[in-house]
């Protein structure tokens, strides 16, 4: 298919509807990401060919008592008076997940008509995968590295095998709790049928649930775990690291959280901050539309069981 260069801002605006996969840096809030994206989109749109100022009719007196009717530019509609044609208030945005300030990684953003898609993606509660790094031997007030250290402990007795056994027990306890949170008696026929279909979601979308957790890297005193979860929050992940440190007869705090997958949105497909411009965002929307067409379960699933998907590239 032949490509065509478009310089008309109105035509480009009509295509600016969809969901785009962004990489959120650590240390910035989702509101700051939203403001940056809207500012960049307005900047690029205003650099295109925007509509001219409106015309108004002027009637002047001519010679021989004749009236002259002509059109002149309406100065009240001039960009020097009204400001740029496209402004941040014209753009609607909605995130599919509410990552905390310290969390980095994949985040999906719906723009204009894409806010409806973003809402449906959020309501579908897709599985998210995180790489969470903790530091053994120190505990902080908020369970994150930026706060004051409150407790220190030894870590010489901790090894990767001990951490692996603890994470396996955490995963087993969450798997037992799934049936309790799904609102189904574990001894019923309905529970058996759901178990045959695969991992299920809890009915309460405010209850964090871990579907898988494993040790990804261990370099004492740092350790990194991979978590597959839904309904999780930044505070919950930080508290989880703190509890892992206590169960290891020591203490720990969280140093970084990175979301490497959100449903079918992968880390390698996300746009870095330097690529948050009009052209790349439109390309990202086109890629997301293909992804949704190939995986209609992203918007609506026929059962409560989680859908199988390929593992992310390590």
* pLDDT tens sequence across 267-291: 999 999 999 999 999 999 999 999 9
Give residue 178's pLDDT.
76
Pairing state of beta strands 252-262 and 222-230?
Answer: unpaired
Domains of the chain by range and CATH?
17-49+59-126+264-299 (no CATH), 128-262 (3.30.70.3190)
pLDDT tens string 219-272: 999 999 999 999 899 999 999 999 999 999 999 999 999 999 998 999 999 999
Count of Cβ atoms closer than 10 Å to residue 42 Cβ: 19
β-strand partners of 228: 129, 212
Give residue 51's pLDDT.
87
Q: What are phi and psi of 134, to 5 degrees?
A: -120, 160
Instruction: Give the single-character DSSP code of 53.
Output: P
Instruction: Report the alpha-carbon distance of residue 161 to residue 172 in Å, rounded.
Output: 17
- Residues 168, 173, 176, 178: is their CA dihedral positive or negative? negative
The least confident of 176-185, 209-218, 250-259, 260-269 is 176-185
Give residue 305's pLDDT.
52
pLDDT tens string 12-22: 999 999 999 99
Q: Is the pLDDT of residue 143 over 50?
A: yes
pLDDT tens string 44-93: 999 998 888 888 888 887 777 778 888 888 888 888 888 899 999 999 99
Q: Is the pLDDT of residue 101 over 90?
A: yes
Count of Cβ atoms closer than 10 Å to residue 197 Cβ: 11
Give residue 205's pLDDT.
77
Q: Is the pLDDT of residue 2 over 50?
A: no
Give residue 60's pLDDT.
82
Give residue 68's pLDDT.
82
Query: What are the C-alpha distances in Å from 79 to residues 54, 58, 62, 87?
Result: 11, 21, 31, 12
Pairing state of beta strands 103-111 and 93-95?
Answer: antiparallel
Give residue 304's pLDDT.
52
> What percentage of the chain has pLDDT greater than the value 90?
60
């Amino acid at each position: 298919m032949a490509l065509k260069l478009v310089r008309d801002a109105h035509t480009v605006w009509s295509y600016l509807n969809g969901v785009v996969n962004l990489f959120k840096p650590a240390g910035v809030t989702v509101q700051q990401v939203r403001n940056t994206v809207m500012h960049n989109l307005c900047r690029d749109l205003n650099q295109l060919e925007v509509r001219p100022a409106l015309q108004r009719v002027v009637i002047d007196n001519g010679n021989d008592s004749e009236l002259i009717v002509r059109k002149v530019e309406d100065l009240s509609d001039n960009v020097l008076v009204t400001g740029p044609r496209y402004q941040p208030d014209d753009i609607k945005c909605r995130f599919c997940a509410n990552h905390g300030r310290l969390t980095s990684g994949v985040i999906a953003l719906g723009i204009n008509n894409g806010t409806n898609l973003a809402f449906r993606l959020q309501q579908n509660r897709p599985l998210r995968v995180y790489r969470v790094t903790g530091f053994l031997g120190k505990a902080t007030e908020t369970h994150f590295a930026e706060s004051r250290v409150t407790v220190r402990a030894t870590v010489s007795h901790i090894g990767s095998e001990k951490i692996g056994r603890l994470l396996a027990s955490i995963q087993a306890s969450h798997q037992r709790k799934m049936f309790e949170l799904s609102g189904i008696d574990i001894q019923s026929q309905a529970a058996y049928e759901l178990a045959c279909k695969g991992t299920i979601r809890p009915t309460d979308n405010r209850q964090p649930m871990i579907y898988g957790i494993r040790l990804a890297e261990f370099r004492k005193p740092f350790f990194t775990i991979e978590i597959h979860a839904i309904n999780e929050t930044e505070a919950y992940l930080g508290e989880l690291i703190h509890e892992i440190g206590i169960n290891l007869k020591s203490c720990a705090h969280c140093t970084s959280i990175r979301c490497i997958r959100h449903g079918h949105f992968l880390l390698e497909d996300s746009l870095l901050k330097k690529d948050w411009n009009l052209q790349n965002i439109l390309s990202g929307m086109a890629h997301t539309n293909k992804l949704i067409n190939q995986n209609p379960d992203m918007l609506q699933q026929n059962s409560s069981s989680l859908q199988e998907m390929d593992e992310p590239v390590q």
